[in-house]
Amino acid sequence: MKILTAEFVRSVVQLDQIPKGGYPEIAFAGRSNVGKSSLINCLLGRKKLAQTSSTPGKTRMLNYYNINNMLYFVDLPGYGYAKVPEKMREGWGQLIESYLRESENLAGVIVVTDARHPLSELDLQMVSFLKELQYPTLLIATKADKLSAKKLSAQLRKNIQTVQKYGVEDILPFSATAKRGKRELWMAIDYLLQEVTP
């Protein structure tokens, strides 16, 4: 997809604030600080559209971005950040869960994971929940620049084995720093959109 316009629309803390454009939505989920916002910026070719930070827990709301007036990217709050007070953490969890359960325009979910590590329990819970809700799900292993080709393929192979039981067959290596995997991820997103737009 050629990016003509990419704009921040709004941060949503309650579902009734979701923009009414009716465009298909692609949501980005993943552990706090894994690199979701950096991945979004990389995909859009904008350095600072989605706020990134080395402090985990930066994205606390559903952040909506309007792409080409035809599509929304939804940057979801990161899960699993321990330092956030329990009550607040529950609040975000509920927001993500009710968004995923009730969304009318969600075309697919990109689950962003860390290429260096085994998938976390929360990653697996997310993948399992998405399977239950029957959303098309793409797994990404980001920060691929941080390990050697050999270590990367070994970790990817293990992680793919872990998610096969949820019907996920592949994990796409990605690096926002090295702009790796950008073309492949756009191809996958374009495919998801074809499935929902006539």
The residues binding Mg ion (CB under 5 A) are 36-37, 58-59
Find the part of the chain contacting ligand GTP (CB under 6 A) among 16-24, 117-125, 141-149, 163-171.
141-149
Which residue's C-beta sits nearest to ligand GTP?
A: 78
Q: Measured from the CB of residue 131, what is the shortest distance to ligand GTP in angstroms?
A: 22
Amino acid residing at 193: L
Tell whether residue 176 is a contact of ligand GTP (CB under 6 A): yes
The 79-118 site mask, x for binding ligand GTP (CB under 6 A), equals ----------------------------------------
Find the part of the chain contacting ligand GTP (CB under 6 A) among 46-54, 83-91, 151-159, 164-172.
46-54
- The residue from 27, 49, 52, 127 that contacts ligand GTP (CB under 6 A) is 52
Return the exposure string of 158-168: e unless at least 16 CB atoms fall within 10 Å of the residue's CB, then b. ebbeebeebeb
Q: Which is nearer to ligand GTP, 34 or 126 (CB)?
A: 34
Q: How far apart are CA 10 and CA 104, in angstroms?
A: 18
Tell whether residue 120 is a contact of ligand GTP (CB under 6 A): no
Tell whether residue 173 is a contact of ligand GTP (CB under 6 A): no
Residues lying near ligand GTP in the complex (CB under 6 A): 30, 32-38, 52-54, 56-59, 78, 142-143, 145-146, 175-177
